[in-house]
Amino acid sequence: MNTFYLIIHILFAIGMFLSLKIVNSKNINKYQAITINYIVALILTSISYGESPFASISVMSRELIYSSLWVGFLFIFSFVLMSFSTVKAGIGITTALNKMAVVIPVMVGILYLGQNEWLVVKIIGIVLALISFALVLFKGNNEKVNIKSLYLPVSVFIVSGLIDTSMEIVNKKYISIENPQELFLMGIFATASIIGVLTIIFDMSKKIKGSRFTWEPLIWGSIMGVFNFLVSKMILVNVGLMGGSVVFPVHNASVVMLTALAGVLFFKERFSLRQWIGVAVAIVSVVLIATTI
């Protein structure tokens, strides 16, 4: 059953990343699409819980409210950092470090939360996952990395790791019958939605190029929001069942591997021999870590 949940989780994650890839390829306003995504995710979470976000605040514990505000802020902050880092340092190193941030929640899970079963197998699998990220994502020959701009991808690495770590710790410490996962997700999505709306209003007030609202961000943001809700829910479910030291490496390696293959099949991207080796290494990594479930 755990394996089935993990497969469903990965499929939802692929849907979310492919929809984001389409937003990027069509030059759709990313701020608008991301904000719509969080609003839709908030609505779906509210429907699944059966309460409005405003009514739910009164029953949330103080710890869960603070945690929701923190993670919601990190969601938006991570997106902004990745946008700037992609421009300044390159998409390859930015995406690679975003995925390599998996080491942060994994180490917290092993050292702080006691997830040390099959430790040697997990470590080998994680190392292989990191190697696969570098092989597939970092196109060193095609990108000129500005050393002065490396603080941006490093910041992406830290913030991405903080998001996954925070979600796992909150799930472990504060989620309960009185404060279920839906309440936590509503707080996250509500925070991210409010910050996103304020960003859009600011862009429009400054008449920044491309800030005019169109239907495309609404459509693709809504699609992304459906997948975002499903992925976020499955992350909390699977972390509760298997621990972050299993879930996050398998999640990241599978997403890198399958979105890379989708890029070749549907977006006419070309892969070098090094990148195909990276895909093969990612497969080995996923299989290894999956055996520890």
Quick one: angle between helices 91-100 and 62-88, nearest 10? 150
Q: What is the pTM of this model?
A: 0.82
- DSSP assignments along 216-283, one per residue: HHHHHHHHHHHHHHHHHHHHHHHHHHH-HHHHHHHHHHHHHHHHHHHHHHHS-----HHHHHHHHHHH
Q: Where residue 144 falls among pLDDT bands split at 50, 70, 90?
A: low
Mean pLDDT of the chain: 82
Query: For the segment 150-193, what is each residue's pLDDT rounded down to a tens digit?
Result: 788 889 889 998 998 998 899 888 888 778 888 899 999 999 99
The more confidently predicted of residues 185 and 291 is: 185
Tokens 């699944």 -> residue:
48
Say whether pLDDT at 138 is over 80: no
Mean pLDDT within 264-291: 80
pLDDT tens for residues 191-237? 999 998 998 888 777 766 666 778 888 999 999 999 999 999 998 88
Using the 8-state DSSP alphabet, how is residue 27 labeled? T
* Nearest-angstrom CA–CA distance, 220 and 19: 7
- Which tokens belong to 67? 């945690």
**pLDDT single digits (tens) 75-103:** 989 888 887 887 777 666 777 788 888 88
Q: Which of 1, 40, 92 is nearest to 226 (CA)?
A: 40
pLDDT at 91: 66
End-to-end CA distance of the chain: 10
Distance separating alpha carbons of residues 22 and 220, to the nearest angstrom: 8
Cα angle 110-77-224, degrees, rounded to a multiple of 5: 90
Q: What is the pLDDT of residue 38?
A: 94
Q: Which residue ranges make up each domain of the chain?
A: 2-290
pLDDT at 48: 85
**Residue 148 pLDDT exceeds 70:** no
Mean pLDDT of 37-62: 83
Cα–Cα separations (whole angstroms), residue 200 to 38, 119, 221, 238? 13, 45, 14, 34
